Every structure is written in C-alpha cells, then in structure tokens.
Structure 1
C-alpha cells in the first residue's frame, strides 16, 4: 500500500534541509526554523498541539513552539524525519496517512514556492489521486466557506467539484489536484491555476482568497 504521507514527510525534510533554518516560507511570519518547530510539536507535544486549532490555547502553543525553535535546526529536521513517537496519536495505524498527506504536501510547497523563482514539481499520479480524493472536504471547509462566489475546481481531464454559495456567480479554477489543494489552503497566488469567470466575480474572489497573478 502506498504511504503518501511518508513520501511527503521525506520530501519536506529534504526541502527543509536544503533551504536552511532562515529561509522564508508561505506560512505568514514563519521561517523554515519556525515551520520545523511546528511540525515537531504537532506530533510530539499533544499538550501544545491543541492550540494549533483552538484559539484559547494558541498562546501556550506559541510558547512551546518558540522553545523548540531554539533547538539546533538539524535536530528539528531529524526529529521530524524520524516520524511520530510511539505515544503520539499519529503513530496509530493509518493516522499518519489520513492526517498528514495533505499537511506535509502543503508545507513542502510552502518551502518550495516561497522564493520568487519557484518551479512546481511534478506530483506522482498516485499521490495526485490521493490529494484529489481529499479535496472535496478541504474545499468545503476552507475555500468554500470563505468564498463570495461559487467555485468550480476542475482537473485538466475534466473531473470537477463545486463548492461555495448557491446562486452566486461561478469562477472556475483549472489545474492539477495539488494546485487546487494549495488554492483551497490560501496559497493560490503561488499556483499555476487557470482562472475563468466574469471579471467582477474573479475580483470579488481575489479580495478573499489569493489567486495567481493576472
């Protein structure tokens, strides 16, 4: 059975190593060191990881993350590459694959595409299908919830899904599954997506979710 999360973990670790500790990322305000610390506490410090999603606990999470960020960068990358410890929820059978395939793909692209001269890397077909299978839920919870227009997310082969408010003008975004995932997570400005729709609908969407440059 393919383990896409494991493959993306190793790809992300390689990108972090190549970039070094002070490189920018697409995570607002985070360097690669901050991102590495986030990845480590997410699966090794359950007491702090809750604050990633729960605002009331965000202060504690930030303090723990800042503490980890003071560790040697090579140690952080090594801990992340090693995978979750036995006591982590992510060590449960199937949990890493279910929870981290998208997480690590997006964060790998956060490192890869942060510079001005980025080039999209090809995604293996099996992994692209795994990203596509997870996209409907992500698109509804992330982009669809925020979008003022109806969104049709289309693959080059014609498969598509639609999210967003019914009755609103439609904007179609076309690209490979990985590009659509990045758009759903607010990284649309650094994608290769084609955007089609009425100019005023596209402009309304652009005010809420980043889109590729005109």
Structure 2
C-alpha cells in the first residue's frame, strides 16, 4: 500500500523504484529505445544535471546533448546505483519546491510509472487513492491546453468519466471530448494514446482530428 503521508510525487517515485528493483535494468518501457535503466538515468538527469536537464524539453541540438548525457550515465553507472539515487529523492533546490512537486514532478513520475507498468503487462491501476485522482485531475486542467497545442480546427473538452467534472480546453464549432479517469487522461495528453483507456467522443471528423494529432511535450 502507498504511504499516504508522502507527497504525491514521492508516492509515485517510491512505487516506480520498487518496480525498477523488481524488473531489473533491461525491461521495456513504452518509450521507444528506453529500457528501465535508460528511464532511471533520464529521471536522475532531469533532477541532478543542471546543464543537461533543461535540454530535455528542447528540440534539435539541445535534445541530442541531453540524450548523450543520459547515454553516458547508462554506460558508467550500474542499475542499483541509479535506482538508489533516484529513490533518495530530489536534491535541495528547485525540485523540492511545492508547485514543482505537485505539477511537473507528479506528472513525470506518474506517467513514467505507467510507462513501465504497461510495457510489462501490468496494466492500469484500478485502485488509485481519491486524493491522488484529485491531484491528477488538477494537473489535467493545468496542462491540457499546452499538451494539446498541436490540435487545430476543432474544439476540445475533457471529462472525468462517471462524474460531472468537465473542462473546455479550446472552443470550436465541432468539438471532440476526451473521457476517462484523471490518470488515463493525463497519459493520453502526454502522448500515450495507444496505452490510455480514454474514449474520444464527438462528430467523426472531430474524433479523427484528435486521433491523428500528436499530443505531449
């Protein structure tokens, strides 16, 4: 059972590190070319390499620089060291700020936890605590417009299935709706459309526009 006294990002961090320990360094993830060892190195670089970390969200040469730094970590550090370092938590500074932990870090660890689970046949979790569901829903609202920025020509609504919770992300004469639980919606918005349990509803041409759009960073 998760330690509910921990912040949400820390709960996901611990669960992911436990899964890393269980699966070992060579298990697949949903990320092309990324084993569990590559993913552990990526997460460490994000928090602990102040030069390369900003390059993770930039295209072209900066992204390739970050890839080289990640590859070097994979070559030179063994998997138990990477997992233990990651389990220790973020270093003092930016990644300990409350809003960073609540928003980008929770997204990062939740999505990558699911990347590992689903690539290894473990499937979605059906027992997420209500407080975590609420936190993920807040993050769906915070990030949905940016993560769907490549969608054009139609409107987009997002609904928490089974509730009255609904967000209008962008207006349009023809509107599609993404419907699912908060965690599944977050996965969809981060580009895991094939793995996310989300229904795309609306007029056929609006649904088609959503399905051909690349969501995510």
TM-score above 0.5: yes
In the alignment, what sits opposite 1:146? 150
In the alignment, what sits opposite 2:48? 44
SS of 2:67's equivalent in the other structure is: helix
1:66-77 alignment runs, 5 A limit: 66-70=71-75, 71-77=77-83
Alpha-carbon distance between aligned partners in 2 of 1:109 and 1:141, rounded to the nearest angstrom: 21
Please give the TM-score of this superposition, normalised by the length of structure 2: 0.86
Does the 8 A contact of 1:139 with 1:184 survive in 2? yes
Does the 8 A contact of 1:6 with 1:97 survive in 2? no
SS of 2:119's equivalent in the other structure is: coil
SS of 1:33's equivalent in the other structure is: helix
SS of 2:27's equivalent in the other structure is: coil
Alpha-carbon distance between aligned partners in 2 of 1:147 and 1:73, rounded to the nearest angstrom: 39
Structure 2 residue ranges without an equivalent (≥5): none
The reply on whether 1:205 has 2:214 as its aligned counterpart is no
In the alignment, what sits opposite 2:88? 82
Please give the TM-score of this superposition, normalised by the length of structure 1: 0.88
1:128-153 CA-to-partner distances (Å, cap 9, x unmatched) read 1011112122110012x112332211
CA RMSD of aligned residues (A): 1.9
In the alignment, what sits opposite 2:179? 174
Aligned residues: 206
Does the 8 A contact of 2:48 with 2:91 survive in 1? yes
Does the 8 A contact of 1:12 with 1:108 survive in 2? yes
Does the 8 A contact of 1:34 with 1:65 survive in 2? yes
State the shift of 1:97 in Å. Answer: 3.6
SS of 1:50's equivalent in the other structure is: helix
Alpha-carbon distance between aligned partners in 2 of 1:24 and 1:93, rounded to the nearest angstrom: 31
